[in-house]
Amino acid sequence: MSYFLTYTVYVLIVSVLMGLSTWKLFKKMGYNPLFAFVPFYNYYIIQKETEQPKWWVALAYLPIVGPIMMTVFHMALMRKFGKTSFMEKLLTVILPFIYMAFVNYSKDAEVENADDLYLTEEEKNAKKKDSFLGSITFAVVFATIIHVFFTQPFGIPTGSMERTLLVGDFLFVNKMNYGFRMPMRPVAIPFLQGTILDTGEKGNPKDDPKSYAEGIKLPYLRLPGWEKPKRNDIVVFNYPDDSVHVAIDRKDPYVKRLVAQPGDVLEFKAGKLFINGKPEVRMGDAQVQHAYEVVTSSQLDVPALYDIYGFLPVQEHQRGSGFYYRFQGLTDQTAKEIGALPQVVTMTEAIEPQGKKDISYYPDMQKSIEAQEMVWSKKVNTSSTIFPNNKNWNVDWYGPLRIPQKGDVLQLTAQNLPDYEKLIVKHEANTLASKNGKIMINGRETSTYTVKYDYYMMVGDNRDASLDARFFGYVPETHIVGKPMFTWLSVEGLFSDAGSTYQADGKKIRWDRMFKAANTGDLHKTSYWWLAALLLILFFGWDYFAKLFRKKDKEI
């Protein structure tokens, strides 16, 4: 079922519930009771009778924002009939159609006089409180509209994009560039991604309370944008292997670089990326890193290196009279400078052997407890095992792999089925079975499959410390959120790195990164400090002059 058809069904269901629970109230306000069943017009009448802003009506049926606005209108309608106590307001919020139906079918429901001349002091104070709450509601609704439809803030807790983007960077992401993806779970708590709270490390994440209604769902739809995702873009997308959330738009957000677009052939050779048989062309802002192993004659002053380069995750081990270091990721220039230190004996880029498969297993917790050390089971952890899982590839020797594009007709065989199984089943919602040499899709034998979406390969600039498409596979267009615009805040030391011997020395703001463009492709980023300053001046200046003019009006 299409997005708009499904959306229309939900609108009609809500309108019927609205009509059944308020038609008598509409009649008592002097309107045809059938108007209570008419989408949008029913809320327009409530707006008119309760003197709410007219443009609020247009928001009443929008995803995410709509439930908030409906609640505002429901409370205004109940206030019209004298239901103003805390309990009555609470029931209107949590059981709207049930409580409104109770009022609707009660014999004593009457329209109350709203003339301020007849209000008691207590009622006037209550009206002031309602006005204040209305201002708060407006602020929440406005912020929700911006958050849902235009731009959304994201934080970076891991180092997969170091040093292009840093751990502790907070970005604003443009949702419009690639075309706005309509919400797929339209009833949700504003500003929360997937869960309301984390129940703790020992709890199952799937049991955490969700911030959205899973049962109310809409299919994928993307509105037209002004550009398509292209090679070398930094992109925010939903993590395809998130097993906690079924809803695509509620899966964890990841940020990586789009290194291969539909139709490209991707390959890694000794850690170097090749696209369509040619070495990658890096943008000016791409500070690609690789892991390095360093042997020294004496201990390195790692905190001093942090002062020069910023936080560099590193493991340190003493070996005899010397030391061994494994740096999680260094740029070519940083590696050259560290390699020139007098105590460095050897420095080599850490490259996995060709033909060695990157594979991960789940731990056997019972045996681990008995042995008092980690014991691994034989069950493969596919989320951190190389994709596709039938290839002897690793992060340094990977491919060649062609990226599917919309309209491709895949020739399916038993050998290449693992390449496309996730695409066919998970991303494009089909059933797939292979038995006795026969491939069955949706119960029918076939040897071909036509791809419905465009796919992309997203890889971190920190090549040896990135959980990316080399593990979770192709990223479908359905999962793309948007394009980072700028870093609005950057804090060093906000997130620790469990794999590093040393940690950042406290928390400090990186002032030089704030309000810097994040996706221009240039090494020297455009600064938007002037825009931030202008907005602050306008915000506080407007408030100052508004108060000044009000004061003059009173004096006159």
The separation between the first and the last C-alpha atoms of the chain, rounded to the nearest angstrom, is 63
Do residues 515 and 489 touch, judged by C-beta distance below 8 A? no
Q: How far apart are CA 248 and CA 92, in angstroms?
A: 31
Shortest CA distance to 235 belongs to which of 477, 452, 451, 525? 477
Question: φ and ψ at 222, to 5 degrees?
Answer: -120, 125
Tell me the pLDDT tens digit for each residue of 104-129.
999 888 887 655 445 556 655 655 56
pLDDT tens readout for residues 424-467: 999 999 999 988 889 999 999 999 999 999 999 999 999 999 99
Q: Which residues contact 93 (CB under 8 A, 6 or more apart)?
A: 71, 74, 75
Q: Which residue has the tokens 């751990």?
A: 167
CB under 8 Å to 453, separation ≥6 — which residues?
406, 427, 428, 476, 477, 478
d(CA 101, CA 98): 5
Backbone angles phi, psi at 441, to 5 degrees: -115, 120
Spatial contact of 102 and 30, defined as CB atoms under 8 Å apart: no
How far CA 466 is from CA of 172, 186, 257, 394, in Å, comes to 22, 32, 11, 12
Q: Measured on CA atoms in the order 88, 94, 98, 100, is the torsion positive or negative?
A: positive
Sequence letter at residue 373: E
Cβ neighbours for 468, distance < 8 A, ≥ 6 positions apart: 160, 256, 458, 459, 460
Q: Tell me what pLDDT residue 117 has.
A: 44
Q: One digit per residue, pLDDT tens: the chain, 556 residues?
A: 689 899 999 999 999 999 999 999 999 999 999 999 999 999 999 999 988 888 889 899 999 999 999 999 999 999 999 888 889 999 999 999 999 999 999 988 888 765 544 555 665 565 556 665 666 777 788 888 888 999 999 999 999 999 899 999 999 999 999 999 999 999 998 888 888 877 655 556 677 788 888 888 999 999 999 999 999 999 999 999 988 888 999 999 999 999 999 999 999 999 999 999 999 999 888 999 999 999 999 999 999 998 898 888 999 999 888 999 999 999 999 999 999 999 999 999 999 999 999 988 877 666 666 666 666 777 778 788 999 989 999 999 999 999 999 999 999 998 899 999 999 999 999 999 988 889 999 999 999 999 999 999 999 999 999 999 999 999 999 999 999 998 988 998 888 887 788 888 888 888 888 888 887 777 777 777 777 677 667 766 665 666 555 555 555 5
**What is the phi-psi region of residue 529: left when phi exceeds 0, alpha when psi lies from -120 to 50, beta otherwise?**
alpha
Residues in the chain: 556
Q: Taking the alpha carbons of 190, 191, 197, 198 in that order, is the dihedral positive or negative?
A: positive
Q: What is the pTM of this model?
A: 0.86
- The per-residue pLDDT for 360 is 84
Biggest alpha carbon–alpha carbon distance for the chain = 93
pLDDT at 466: 94
pLDDT for the residue 435: 85
Rg (CA), the chain: 29
Handedness of CA 500, 503, 508, 510 (dihedral sign): negative
CA neighbor of 310 nearest in space, from 546, 508, 113: 508
